[in-house]
Amino acid sequence: MIGKIFSNIGFEIQSFETTTADNTDRGEKLSVIRTKSDAYQCAHIFVEKFGKDILLSISKTLKAFCVNRVETVYLYLPLTCPETSYLCSEFESMGFFFGGLRPGKEGTIWLLLQYLNNQKYDYDKLRFCSDFGQELMQYIKNHDPNLDGTEPN
């Protein structure tokens, strides 16, 4: 889907490789994450640097936001780091799922994962002006772990 998004906006990717194994050495380094909350009951977690404690760090941060009844938690992963590709499935096992891409400062592009805290989103209420918008929504909906075949309230 990431390749399709880039293609849709006319951005050429010279090389797009995914890593399936943990082949980078995080060694003894600790992760660096930045968090913020907003007035819309949303929280944002930015992974600045991956370290040996990244999974524990994200898990604890997510739990703290959920306990404080934050409705949506967004996780921003730097697309240029190889750790993003092989740790993505670990974050998905925590309940995060694809939300899109977000451009950042100095050419940084973030992979955006989202976590919906005890809520179901009614995707059928969305309307799109393009076939690609519809395809993107369907992709996100298909990866939403909160949908279990029942209709949202």
Condensed to tens digits (0 to 9), the pLDDT of residues 9-26 reads 666 665 545 444 444 455
Average pLDDT over residues 62-91: 93
pLDDT at 51: 95
pLDDT band at 44 (very low <50, low <70, confident <90, very high): very high
Task: Locate the DSSP E strands across the chain.
Answer: 32-37, 42-49, 72-78, 97-103, 109-116
Q: What tokens were used for 92?
A: 């998905």
Q: Which residue has the tokens 């909160």?
A: 146
pTM of the model: 0.77
What share of the chain in percent tops pLDDT 90? 42
**CATH fold for domain 29-118:** Aminopeptidase (3.40.630)
Range from 24-28, 34-38, 122-126 that averages highest in pLDDT: 34-38
Q: What tokens were used for 108?
A: 């940084």
pLDDT band at 65 (very low <50, low <70, confident <90, very high): very high
pLDDT at 115: 96
90 pLDDT higher than 90: yes
The SS3 of residue 133 is: helix
pLDDT at 86: 86
5 pLDDT higher than 70: no
Q: How far lies 28's CA from each of 25, 46, 59, in Å? A: 9, 20, 19
Q: What is the DSSP letter of 53?
A: T
pLDDT at 20: 43
| CA–CA distance, 75 with 63 (Å, rounded to integer) | 13
pLDDT at 2: 66
